[in-house]
A and B are shown apart, each in its own frame.
Chain A
Amino acid sequence: MTNTLSATYPLSSYVPLRTTAAWPYYEEIKSLPIGYGTVTIQPIRYNTSGLVLFLFDHPIAGVDRVTIDGNPAAFNFYNALDHLGFPCSFVSLTTPVTTTAGVEVTARGKMHQTTGTVMTHPADVIADIMAIARSTYSESNLDVFRRECNELGLNEISGALDNNQQTTRAYLDEIALSLGAVWSGAMPGLFRLFPRTMPADEPIWQEYDEKNTSGVSCSANIRDYYSVLKIKYGWNYATGTPAQAMTLSAIEPTKTRRVDHEIELKWMHRGRLVYGIGSRLLQHRSRPIWRIRFDSGFDSQGYSTITHPLIPVSDTSLVLSRTVSPMRPGGSYEMQIAAGTVPEIEILQRSENF
Chain B
Amino acid sequence: MLYSPGHSRADFVDYLCYPLLRNIGAIRTTVSIDGGGENASTSAELDNGWSLELVELFSIPPLFSECEVYDRTGAHSFSGFITEVTLGESPSMRITS
Query: Chain A's nearest CB lies how many Å from the CB of B7?
Result: 25
Say if the beta carbon of B88 comes within 8 Å of chain A: yes
Asked whether, in the complex, the Cβ of B89 is within 8 Å of the Cβ of A310, the reply is yes
Q: Residues of A at under 8 Å CB distance from B?
A: 215-222, 225, 256-257, 288, 290, 309-313, 339-340
* Chain A residues within 8 Å of B87, by CB: 217-219, 310-312
Asked whether, in the complex, the Cβ of B86 is within 8 Å of the Cβ of A217, the reply is yes
Say if the beta carbon of B56 comes within 8 Å of chain A: yes
Q: Given the complex of chains A and B, what is the CA–CA distance between A304 and B60 in angstroms? A: 22
* Chain B residues within 8 Å of A312, by CB: 55-56, 58-59, 87
* Chain A residues within 8 Å of B61, by CB: 220, 288, 290, 339
Asked whether, in the complex, the Cβ of B88 is within 8 Å of the Cβ of A221, the reply is no
Q: Residues of B at under 8 Å CB distance from A?
A: 48, 52, 55-56, 58-61, 63-64, 83-90
* Chain B residues within 8 Å of A310, by CB: 48, 52, 55, 87-89
Q: Which residue of B lies closest to A291 (CB)?
A: B86
Query: Chain A's nearest CB lies how many Å from the CB of B10?
Result: 30
Q: Which residue of A lies closest to B96 (CB)?
A: A222
Asked whether, in the complex, the Cβ of B55 is within 8 Å of the Cβ of A219, the reply is no
Q: Given the complex of chains A and B, what is the CA–CA distance between A288 and B87 in angstroms? A: 14
Q: Given the complex of chains A and B, what is the CA–CA distance between A220 and B60 in angstroms? A: 9
Partner of B88, one of A216, A222, A225, A256: A216
* Chain B residues within 8 Å of A288, by CB: 60-61, 63
Asked whether, in the complex, the Cβ of B86 is within 8 Å of the Cβ of A218, the reply is yes
Asked whether, in the complex, the Cβ of A311 is within 8 Å of the Cβ of B64, the reply is no
* Given A219-B87, A220-B85, A290-B61: 20 more A-B contacts, CB < 8 Å: A216-B89, A217-B88, A217-B89, A217-B90, A218-B86, A219-B84, A220-B63, A222-B63, A222-B64, A222-B83, A256-B64, A288-B61, A310-B48, A310-B88, A311-B55, A311-B87, A312-B87, A339-B60, A339-B61, A340-B60
